[in-house]
Homo-oligomer: A and B are copies of this chain.
């Protein structure tokens, strides 16, 4: 089978692929500067591993299966009709980043509450600032937490926070086990939570979900965590609340524009931790992506259902 490789990989990941794909015709494209030869090779490949430009899917192609190197796939929704018409199978990496992203969410929360970001600055200048930091410290224990989104990240965060004796509620449109199923139910209770963890994906329905009026319902002690997508939040409104001390703080992994521009006011908002979209990161992540593809390739070859199939029309 002709396999086109267009993923961001490190040496261990490449070595794993080279070994595992030895029986296949693998074409390694240069992701940073694709050539006309690369585009031509793609058009004759049956399988692709990596997030190719959407235009390539729109051109003449023999592609049957696209394994994305990401969880997000919103970028491909613009070629939804064509992909459906051509019957191209698309799979993502759903679930792979649940543990790291949930650890970053809880780690960011604890860092903010336990003053660890301030202490890192003190450490850098060898200053003992213990007495300055202590009066600003708080506890995660016993907080009322709302998690938006009951996907793998949201559920992981919830499981962890229960060990901190937090009372965990969920907002999710389609999961019958969610505490809140509609924005109206949510808005009526949002002020009751002292931690709000946004794990919403980027879909047309979640665009600007945390608009100004909704953000204003947050309580004065509420810490707003975003490990979902930047598109779901009205950032200028969030900046105003943080600067005015009208909410307890923020832990933000994702932004409307990434990298966050140097001039962006979020960088210096009080009681705000900027995680720089590292939430899914861990040392072996590229190797694990390659491993996932190889396992899925095995299912594909054996005619078994591949894992993590996505439906661009339904948006999940």
Contacts and interface: CB of A to CB of B under 8 A. Distances in A.
A141 interface: yes
Contacts of A159: 163
A173 to B, nearest CB: 27
A281 B276 CA distance: 28
Contact of A117 (B120, B138, B259, B283): B120
A138 B274 contact: no
A306 B81 CA distance: 74
Interface stretch (A35-43, A102-110, A193-201): A102-110
A259 to B, nearest CB: 3
B116 A117 contact: yes
Contacts of A268: 126
A129 interface: yes
A53 interface: no
A276 B127 CA distance: 9
Contacts of A100: 114, 137, 139
A10 B136 CA distance: 13
Contacts of A138: 282-283
A121 B119 contact: no
A267 interface: yes
Contacts of A281: 114-115, 130, 133-135, 137
Contacts of A89: none
Contacts of A117: 116-117, 120, 123
B163 A120 contact: no
A140 B164 CA distance: 16
Contact of A137 (B110, B114, B127, B278): B278
A116 B123 contact: no
A113 interface: yes
Contacts of A134: 278, 281-282, 285
A9 interface: no
Closest 3 CB pairs of A and B: A107-B110, A163-B163, A128-B259
Given A100-B139, A126-B267, A130-B277, 7 more contacts: A10-B135, A104-B114, A107-B111, A111-B111, A116-B117, A117-B117, A119-B273
